[in-house]
Amino acid sequence: MRVVAALSGGVDSAVAAARAVEAGHEVTGIHLALARSPQSHRTGARGCCTLEDARDARRVADVLDIPFYVWDLSERFAEDVVDDFVEEYAAGRTPNPCLRCNERIKFTAVLDRALALGFDAVATGHYARLVDTPSGRELHRAADPAKDQSYVLGVLDAGQLAGALFPLGDSLKPRVRDEAARRGLLVAEKPDSHDICFVPDGDTGAWLRDRLGTVPGDIVDAESGETLGRHDGAFAFTVGQRRGLGLGRPAADGARRYVVGVDTGSSTVLVGPPVLLEVDRVDAVRPRWCGAAPSGPVDGQVQLRAHGEPVDAVVTVGPGVTGDVEVVAHLREPVRGVAPGQAMVVYDGTRVVGSATITRSARDGGAR
């Protein structure tokens, strides 16, 4: 196959590209320039958009002796990922930009361009497995549970999966580092990237305040209705959050208080005891299925945040009140802190069924 290997400058994508070369594919290295001005993004080794990363990516291509190009996707990234991220927070939701980037940038903009130029697939360093079956290609969790990234790939549809290659899916991360060192890839010891690549210092609250301004409002006790304090912008709060509330006095019962609701319309942040966070029903919209849409209820699991544990659930798909397709998960055990805007990824064992964007959650009383 003719393969485009997306080289971030990190160890995973380097080994993924090396394995694609070794598998006999004709590989071309691509580094994605996602920042409008590369210096404005995080400096050092932890980002994904720095000059250092571009150089590291180029060195990987040199060592592998493959062609290397930089593709400028900064406009698309700004519109589809960064602007969306800000809008979602402004609406009181908590988006996951990595899913968005995989859906719109890596496996739409890059894949489409690669296919148009005569390539067959885009290889990345994601930890997830693709399994070809008679009924089509399936996406599964990675062999390394600590590194599994199937959650952030749960947005890929059948067409996108058909053009994907994840050479690290069967590997354990420490082995990948060893392999990088053995292959002479100089990024073997580079730390993993974390956080959000376009928030330079990792301070998402301050980054959002720069863009959304200060919108002061009340912090209100969800049970008593009493105003407990003030804040600079409801968008900076996420359901389930405990730190950074800045409430001087403890709750009457001495229990810790959590954010249990965010209303950016009235700029109100609701806080309360953890019991208010417990939900067993999660509603989500805009599903994307990794293959065919399920024909009936899925008795499987859902994962409600990037590094969350899977929760047993029965998932149904049907028309919601607005007529749009709605995905409803009835959880077998209640969970705490489900934030609107996050992705609910549906699993059937290790297989990823699909994903949808969480709109609300509630305490219903167990799976029916």
Q: Please pick, from the candidates 74, 108, 204, 316, the single residue that binds another protein as defined by CB under 8 A.
A: 74
Catalytic member of 48, 98, 101, 290: 101
Measured distance CA(48)–CA(244) in Å, rounded: 27
Distances (CA, A) of 90 to 62, 104, 148, 290, 329: 43, 21, 30, 29, 26
Backbone angles phi, psi at 66, to 5 degrees: -120, 155
Q: Is 72 in the site for another protein (CB under 8 A)?
A: yes
Q: State which residue, 31 or 141, has the beta carbon closest to another protein.
A: 31
Q: State which residue, 64 or 139, has the beta carbon closest to another protein.
A: 64
Q: Is 71 in the site for another protein (CB under 8 A)?
A: yes
Q: State which residue, 71 or 334, has the beta carbon closest to another protein.
A: 71
For the chain, the distance separating the N- and C-terminal CA atoms, rounded to the nearest angstrom, is 47
Q: Is 118 in the site for another protein (CB under 8 A)?
A: yes
Q: Please pick, from the candidates 16, 54, 302, 335, the single residue that binds another protein as defined by CB under 8 A.
A: 54
Q: State which residue, 60 or 239, has the beta carbon closest to another protein.
A: 60
Q: Please pick, from the candidates 70, 78, 181, 215, the single residue that binds another protein as defined by CB under 8 A.
A: 70
Q: Is 69 in the site for another protein (CB under 8 A)?
A: yes
Measured distance CA(8)–CA(31) in Å, rounded: 6
Binding-site string for another protein from residue 87 to residue 116, where x marks contact by CB under 8 A and - marks none: --------------------------x--x
Binding-site string for another protein from residue 12 to residue 51, where x marks contact by CB under 8 A and - marks none: --------------x-x--x-x----x-----------xx
| Partner residues linked to 91 by β-bridges | none
Q: State which residue, 71 or 273, has the beta carbon closest to another protein.
A: 71
Q: State which residue, 72 or 226, has the beta carbon closest to another protein.
A: 72
* Tally of CA atoms within 13 A in the half-sphere of 299 that contains its CB: 2
Q: Please pick, from the candidates 62, 67, 324, 349, the single residue that binds another protein as defined by CB under 8 A.
A: 67
Q: State which residue, 177 or 190, has the beta carbon closest to another protein.
A: 190
Catalytic member of 48, 49, 98, 197: 197
Look up 48 and say whether it is catalytic: no
Binding-site string for another protein from residue 202 to residue 241, where x marks contact by CB under 8 A and - marks none: ----------------------------------------
Six token digits for residue 73:
């996707």
Q: Please pick, from the candidates 25, 42, 76, 104, the single residue that binds another protein as defined by CB under 8 A.
A: 76
Backbone angles phi, psi at 16, to 5 degrees: -60, -45
- Smallest gap from Cβ 38 to another protein, in A, equals 4
Q: Is 362 in the site for another protein (CB under 8 A)?
A: no
Look up 197 and say whether it is catalytic: yes
Question: Which of 328, 209, 205, 221 is closest to 270 using CA atoms?
Answer: 221
Q: Is 117 in the site for another protein (CB under 8 A)?
A: yes
Crossing angle of helices 51-64 and 11-22, in 10° steps, is 20
Pick the piece of the chain touching another protein (CB under 8 A) from 63-71, 93-101, 192-200, 228-236.
63-71
Q: Which residues are designated catalytic?
A: 101, 197
**Site residues (CB under 8 A) for another protein?**
26, 28, 31, 33, 38, 50-51, 54, 58, 67, 69-72, 74-76, 113, 116-118
